[in-house]
Amino acid sequence: TGLSRPQRMLKAVQKNATKGDPQSVIAAIDYYCRHKEWAMNVGDDKGPILDSVVSEVNPSTALELGTYCGYSTVRIARLLSPGSKLITVEFNPAYAAVARQIIAHAGLQNKVTLVEGGSGDLIPKIKEQFGITSFDFVFLDHWKDRYLPDIKLLEDCGLLKKGSVLLADNVICPGTPEYLEYVRNSPRYKSQYFQSYLEYTKAEDGLEKSVFLG
């Protein structure tokens, strides 16, 4: 059956993007997904919102749940200060294999640790495996019904501190109703919605930014 969609996306990056140039990798993926075939990257409407939150937080430690092909991994890692680390978690080995190559094409492999597995299994091991005490920034973009259990797990594992920023993709489409209800009503979070569009479409979607209050 030939190449998968992620593999076709990787080929487009290898053909059209300059090695070591994250911006050209981002542009190549956005062009491919807008003009050739749709894919579930955070995209070029929501992407600048992600960029602005990452730049504002300037995290020393960042976590991404749901790597997919590494598009948002590249968006985040290109903005990190020297010495900062991004851990990205991907359950699907085929996605992880493509993501590693896209992250490497961008020249960002030294800032990124891609871990294959499920967030629920990995989060409790992060302190011991990576020597990380807390995350300044968390980007949620994996299975939508895992957003809520996973932030509760992050809280329980002591991986959030006062001021930690959570940014969640797809809170409208496909939607994460239980997560939204929790972060918008919990006294432990200050939440803010950034309205935008589902990647490469005219459908509404948005990002929810939630600051942990401790």
Ligand X SMILES: O=C(NCc1cccc(CNc2ccc3[nH]ncc3c2)c1)c1cc(-c2ccc(F)cc2)cc(O)c1O
3-class SS of residue 169: coil
Name the closest residue to ligand X (Cβ). Answer: 119
Q: Decide whether 169 or 208 has the Cβ nearer to Mg ion.
A: 169
Q: Residue 89: which of ligand X, Mg ion, none does it interact with, CB under 5 to 8 A by kind?
A: ligand X
Q: Which does 174 bind (CB under 5 to 8 A by kind): ligand X, Mg ion, none?
A: ligand X
Q: Give ∠ CA 42-205-69 in degrees, rounded to 5.
A: 15
- Closest contact distance (angstroms) between CB of 42 and Mg ion is 6
Among positions 44, 136, 150, 169, the unique one binding Mg ion when judged by CB under 5 A? 169
In whole angstroms, how close is the CB of 135 to ligand X at the nearest point? 15
Q: Look at residues 163, 162, 167, 160 and name the one whose alpha carbon lies nearest to residue 135.
A: 160
* CB distance 108 to 67 below 8 Å: no
34 vs 190 by CB, closer to ligand X: 34
* Residues making contact with ligand X (CB under 6 A): 40, 65-66, 89-92, 118-119, 141-144, 146, 169-170, 173-174, 198-199
- Please report, for residues 9, 191, 196, the alpha-carbon distance to residue 135 in angstroms, rounded to integers and kept in the order given: 30, 17, 26
CB of 206 to ligand X, least distance (A): 11
Interior angle at CA 63, CA 59 and CA 68, nearest 5: 130
Residue nearest to Mg ion (CB): 169
Task: State how far the Cα of 73 lies from the Cα of 83, in Å rounded to an integer.
Answer: 16
> Interaction with Mg ion in 109-168: which residues (CB under 5 A)?
141
Q: Could you tell which of ligand X, Mg ion, none binds residue 99, using a CB distance below 5 to 8 A set by kind?
A: none
Tokens (6 digits) for 14: 């290898």
Alpha-carbon gap, residue 180 to 108, rounded angstroms: 32
Q: Binding of Mg ion at residue 170 (CB under 5 A)?
A: yes
Name the site residues for Mg ion (rule: CB under 5 A): 141, 169-170
